[in-house]
A and B are shown apart, each in its own frame.
Chain A
Amino acid sequence: DVHLVESGGGLVQPGGSLRLSCAASGFTFSNYAMNWVRQAPGKGLQWVSIISDDGVATYYADSVKGRFTISRDNSKNTVYLQMNSLRAEDTAVYFCAKARGSGRHEDYYFDYWGQGTPVTVSS
């Protein structure tokens, strides 16, 4: 069975940093792109970032570009999200999601999701 387990969330002050981790199991991790998606309290889903299977290609939502960095360690079956210069509007539950599709990122869909880790940015 596929499992995605996020960790690293918590309370951080504005301007602070956090690193989220997502440990994957049940599939060949190095064959699939991975994503981070967030959901602010009572709000809809917002895609944050994607990283290719080999870690070479990354894309970000405009709202986090320059502040967040996605990375992966295929030897540890883990994807990370380094979040710097955090703002109150970054408060959300952060989900990692496995991508599946034809190979073009435009054709991807997210077939497995973790349960999420909450991040609160507040003084």
Chain B
Amino acid sequence: QSVLTQSPSASGTPGQRVTISCSGSSSNIGSNIVNWYQQLPGRAPKVLIYSNDQRPSGVPDRFSGSKSGTSASLAISGLQSEDEAEYYCAAWDDRLNGYVFGTGTKVTVL
């Protein structure tokens, strides 16, 4: 049972903007950075956003992250078919003294 809650699914047509939310608490998102990972079907996860809003080199600027209080968001603008994947938020939890992942959001491109 994850301590970071995400909506189970999100969808959009090509070109649309999709936003995924991640809700936590003061012991995780409220006091530590948030990272976002993309997992394509049958593949290992890949980091999309680190330190709340930073993109690793090679990640398109269509992906953006933000954090406010105990929640974080990942936005995908100009949705493309290859964005169809599972997306996870993650953060260190000071109370659990461990890293926690969100429940995951499946993005479908209609």
Using a CB–CB distance below 8 Å, which chain A residues touch chain B?
35, 37, 44-47, 50, 59-62, 95, 97, 100-101, 105-111, 113-116
Within 8 A of A (CB), among B2-44: 2, 32-33, 35, 37, 39, 44
Is A109 within 8 A of B98, CB to CB? Answer: no
Is A109 within 8 A of B35, CB to CB? Answer: yes
**B97 sits at the interface (CB 8 A):** yes
| Chain B interface SS verdict (over half) | strand
Point out the residues of chain B lying under 8 angstroms from A35, CB to CB.
99
Is A105 within 8 A of B101, CB to CB? Answer: no
Number of interface residues of B (CB under 8 A): 27
- In the bound assembly, the distance between CA atoms of A45 and B46 in angstroms comes to 12
Is B37 within 8 A of A110, CB to CB? Answer: yes
Is A106 within 8 A of B96, CB to CB? Answer: no
Q: List 25 A–B pairs whose Cβ atoms lie within 8 Å, in order of A's numbering.
A: A35-B99, A44-B88, A44-B101, A45-B45, A45-B101, A45-B104, A46-B101, A47-B98, A47-B99, A47-B100, A62-B96, A95-B45, A100-B50, A101-B50, A101-B51, A106-B33, A106-B92, A106-B94, A107-B51, A107-B92, A110-B35, A110-B45, A111-B50, A111-B56, A113-B44
